[in-house]
Amino acid sequence: MSGRVIVITSGKGGVGKTTASANIGTALAKAGNKVVLIDTDLGLRNLDLLLGLENRIVYTIVDVVEERCKLKQALVKDKKNPNLCLLAAAQTRDKSAVTEEQLKDICEKLQKDYDFILVDCPAGIEQGFQNAIAGATEAIVVTTPEMSAVRDADRIIGLLEAKEEMESYRLLLNRVRPNLIKSKDMMSVEDVVEILSADLIGIIPEDTGIITSTNKGEPIVNDEKSLAGRAYMNVARRIMGEEVDFMNLEEETSVVAKMKKFFKGLMGKEK
Amino acid sequence: MKDNIFAELYNKILGFFRQTEETSKDVACNRLRVVLMQDRTNLTPQLLEKMRSELVELLSKYLEMDKDALELNLDQEGEQMALMLSIPVIRAKDEAEIAAEEEAEESKESKESEEAEETEQDKENETLDVQDTESENNETTENETKTTDKQPKFPNKEICGDCRECELSDDIECEKKKLKDTKQKTEI
């Protein structure tokens, strides 16, 4: 078995790389794939928090590289899904503790036993980014419909294109607000896709549920009712090669749809 | 729930009045396109400015235009990058005018180069003379003061073999070379 190594990157910080990693990883595992999430943000690890695994980490990627433990020992199993595990970043070290070669090596070893290796990339285009993309052949570029995020995504795409081993990259448009797009105060999905001229892998609506799910340490894909959760599930299905239509967010978030949902909820309670 | 309905209503009313204006989204898109063009190319603002001034020089040969209002921008058209040049043309020059200007320039150039040649020759002659007398002078002084240390006449200056200009002026760059350069340019 040779698993796919996918790096999740963005350039700009705070656009939702880690949230995307946690959710896509969980969704892929839910669909029956064996998945490893690697946090490469040394010194600023957060993926463990989003998965609710912060208390279970014994060894980190730096321990693996410095041979204080075996690779398998450092993989932390998810609470709910046995198909999913996490290779955490060290919190006390900086980006130079791991080299490109070492990360490539880890990815190659994991490829034998897992279907998907998702690498959560740190923000920026420095060594941390170079490390994260070292072992990957595919990339998901996370961006939001804001100018700075789009500009940084363009820079990242340029760097990904320059890397020979990179076979493909696709765009994940995060924090989309249909109301603002409707009032022409936010760039639309089409605008961003046209400006970056890249293929789209998913559109995630802005969802307050993301905040509460992070608070609980449980990825939002586990909540099948939430819009963002469903959107992430669709991303996972597209990664697996299924053809899934993009959600019509305008319809989904319209007042009528919300009324329907509200009444459905009321009816359900009465019964 | 209520908040959402009001927000949507508000947006709709706002949108109705705003339709004629450029929306903030359009502004963002346009600004991004320009910025990304600059990011993607290695053209620095300095190079663009140079290109601009050279284009002005070339085009003003054929057109009378508002040089200050000339706009040179990189833009994207689909997949292709385009160089957009917008010049407010006051009027096009006619053939006779262009020909006359060309002639005037040529004659000016030839005059200049002739002058340059003349001055060059003059200077060469001069330098030869000066060198001769100098060497003579040196010999005599050497003979006279053999015991004292020999001191060069121009201790801090590079002496160019071709002319004396550089010895006399503080400029190390030889005047003659400059003249040669201008001559080459006119030939091109």
Of residues B10 and B175, the one with the higher pLDDT is: B10
Rounded to two decimals, the ipTM of the complex is 0.80
Residue-level pLDDT at B133: 43
- The residue-averaged pLDDT of B8-24 equals 70
Domain boundaries, chain A: 4-270
Chain B's closest residue to A151, CA to CA, is: B36
Residue-level pLDDT at B140: 40
Sheet harboring A84-87: ordered strands across?
A75-77, A84-87, A35-39, A116-120, A4-9, A138-143, A168-176, A200-205
Distance from CA of B9 to the nearest CA of A (A): 11
Residue-level pLDDT at B116: 66
Domain boundaries, chain B: 1-40, 42-93, 95-140+153-187
A155 with B5: Cβ contact below 8 A: no
Strands in chain A per DSSP E: 4-9, 35-39, 75-77, 84-87, 116-120, 138-143, 168-176, 200-205
- Indicate if the pLDDT at residue A194 is higher than 80: yes
A4-270: CATH topology is Rossmann fold (3.40.50)
B36 touches chain A (CB under 8 A): yes
Chain B's closest residue to A159, CA to CA, is: B40
Residue-level pLDDT at B129: 47
Residue B137, burial from CB neighbour count under 10 angstroms (0-12, 13-18, 19+): exposed
pLDDT tens, residue by residue, A56-113: 999 999 999 999 999 999 999 999 999 999 999 999 888 889 999 999 999 999 999 9
Distance from CA of A181 to the nearest CA of B (A): 8
